[in-house]
């Protein structure tokens, strides 16, 4: 039998078994379809992408696989390799790096000693090139070895459109990536707690080194928009303006990347528009929760007792706000003991647009007792059908006895008359 629940009804609503061996439930688990969702924004960027952070699922891309120069967004990978290789409290000597006057730097002198923690803050907030070089040499012993580690990390992250030839990000035809890969890099960085906290800082004080320094985050969205929490800017004349931006609201985090925008304001506007679009059009649904009851079964021979059938795990799915998840419950209407607690007796299946998302086992919340012979007999007696049968049997037996008694009386009378 199939039953439907009102849209928006809690998935924990109790379902009494309704006869037959199997109970099927078809339920709408999300609210009714809302108004038409907005289209993706119009962008100035040459390429762009937006992903959901916890699943790594791409939501939208515009030439997202097109390779291009990436400027200082390169430093996302520099940071990831550095934290793989170096403890935060390690003190590194600054490399003999001689930046051009136009390069961003914090003025490290060759041999100046600074902690990895402070070098990473200098790397990610003001985008200091001298900090990048110091980390590279400290982590791998040489710039070339560090670049090899960057490319190995890119392969491990399956960034097929990415290659590195510098830890800094100065223009090079062999240092490139794609909007999709940059978004994936931003997601990878956010999985490191220290780096995720760092890119969300408006500014930071560097207390190690030859003298105290204060650095400011070049990502203006972190400064101006409360829910934006990263990740990294980039700019050269050839690459244009780039930004990998992340934002968290209502328990969801999205990461957007834009490449080749014509100005800093366009860069910020494009990234913010992508993040806002993602929040407006997507959400997480939790159609199945662990230990939630999706059906109940009667106890055979004791129909007044019911056993709740509960899910064994939680299912959480990213969906568009106009999508609905349907549940189908396959469970028995009746159970016969003995069965232990958590015995598998059924399943609940979640489907989205005809595609199966997950099938979760249903188990008994409590043990199912065995019903004794006397109780079984009692149950058989009190059932309406059984009572009718008993009345019919007793009536038939009584009629037979009366007929036999009458026959004996007639034979006795006949014997007396014959005598």
Catalytic residues: 72, 75, 127
How many Cβ atoms from other residues are within 10 Å of residue 346's Cβ?
21
| CA-only gyration radius of the chain, Å | 36
Q: What is the DSSP code (8-state) at residue 163? A: B
Q: How many helices (H) and strands (E) does the chain have?
A: 10, 21
User: What is the DSSP track for 119-151?
Assistant: HHHHHHSS--HHHHHHHHHHHHSSHHHHHHHHH
- How many angstroms separate the CA atoms of 295 and 23, rounded? 8
- How many angstroms separate the CA atoms of 239 and 242, rounded? 8
Q: How far is CA 29 from CA 93, 321, 419, in A?
A: 58, 12, 91
Q: Is 129 left (phi over 0), alpha (psi -120 to 50) or beta?
A: alpha
* Long-range contacts from 247-250, C-beta under 8 angstroms, 24+ separation: 247/275, 247/279, 249/279, 250/279, 250/283
Tokens of 413: 């009378």
Q: Is the dihedral of CA 101, 104, 107, 108 positive or negative?
A: negative
CB-CB contact of 124 with 195 (8 Å): yes
Q: What are phi and psi of 118, to 5 degrees?
A: -70, -35
Burial letters 5-44, b for 16+ CB under 10 A, else e? beeeeebeeebebeeeeebebebbbbeeeeeeeeebbebb
Short-list 344, 380, 386, 396, CA closest to 365: 344
How many Cβ atoms from other residues are within 10 Å of residue 275's Cβ?
25
Residue with token string 């994936």: 184
Tokens of 93: 């000597």
């Amino acid at each position: 039998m199939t039953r439907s629940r009102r849209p928006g009804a809690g998935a924990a609503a109790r379902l009494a078994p309704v006869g037959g061996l199997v109970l099927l439930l078809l339920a709408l688990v999300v609210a009714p379809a809302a108004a038409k969702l907005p289209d993706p924004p119009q962008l100035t960027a040459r390429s762009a992408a937006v992903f959901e952070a916890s699943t790594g699922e791409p939501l939208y891309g515009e030439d997202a696989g097109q390779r291009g120069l990436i400027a200082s967004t390169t430093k996302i990978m520099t940071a990831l390799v550095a934290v793989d290789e170096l403890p935060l409290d390690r003190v590194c000597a600054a490399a003999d790096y001689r930046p051009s006057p136009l390069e961003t730097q914090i003025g490290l002198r060759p041999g100046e000693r600074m902690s990895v923690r402070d070098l990473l803050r200098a790397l990610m907030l003001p985008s200091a090139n001298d900090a990048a070089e110091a980390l590279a040499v400290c982590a791998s012993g040489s710039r070339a070895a560090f670049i090899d580690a960057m490319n190995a990390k890119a392969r491990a992250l399956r960034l097929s459109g990415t290659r590195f030839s510098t830890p800094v990000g100065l223009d090079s035809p062999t240092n490139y990536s794609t909007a999709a890969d940059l978004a994936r890099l931003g997601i990878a960085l956010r999985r490191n707690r220290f780096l995720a906290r760092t890119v969300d800082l408006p500014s930071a004080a560097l207390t190690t080194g030859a003298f105290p320094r204060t650095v400011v985050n070049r990502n203006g969205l972190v400064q101006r928009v409360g829910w934006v929490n990263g990740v990294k800017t980039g700019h050269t004349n050839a690459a244009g303006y780039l930004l990998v931006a992340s934002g968290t609201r209502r328990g969801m985090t999205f990461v957007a990347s834009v490449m080749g925008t014509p100005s800093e304001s366009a860069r910020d506007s494009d990234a913010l528009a992508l993040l806002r679009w993602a929040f407006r059009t997507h959400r997480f649904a939790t159609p199945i929760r662990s230990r939630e009851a999706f059906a109940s079964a009667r106890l055979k021979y004791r129909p007044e007792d019911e056993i709740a059938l509960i899910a064994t795990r939680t299912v959480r799915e990213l969906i568009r706000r106009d999508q609905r998840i349907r549940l189908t419950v396959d469970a028995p209407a009746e159970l016969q003991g003995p069965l232990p607690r958590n015995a598998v007796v059924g399943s609940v299946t979640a489907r989205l647009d005809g595609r199966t998302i997950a099938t979760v086992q249903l188990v008994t919340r409590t043990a199912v007792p065995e019903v004794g012979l006397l109780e079984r007999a009692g149950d058989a007696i009190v059932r309406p059908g059984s009572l009718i049968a008993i009345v019919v049997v007793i009536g038939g037996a009584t009629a037979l006895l009366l007929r036999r008694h009458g026959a004996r009386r007639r034979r006795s009378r006949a014997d007396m008359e014959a005598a």
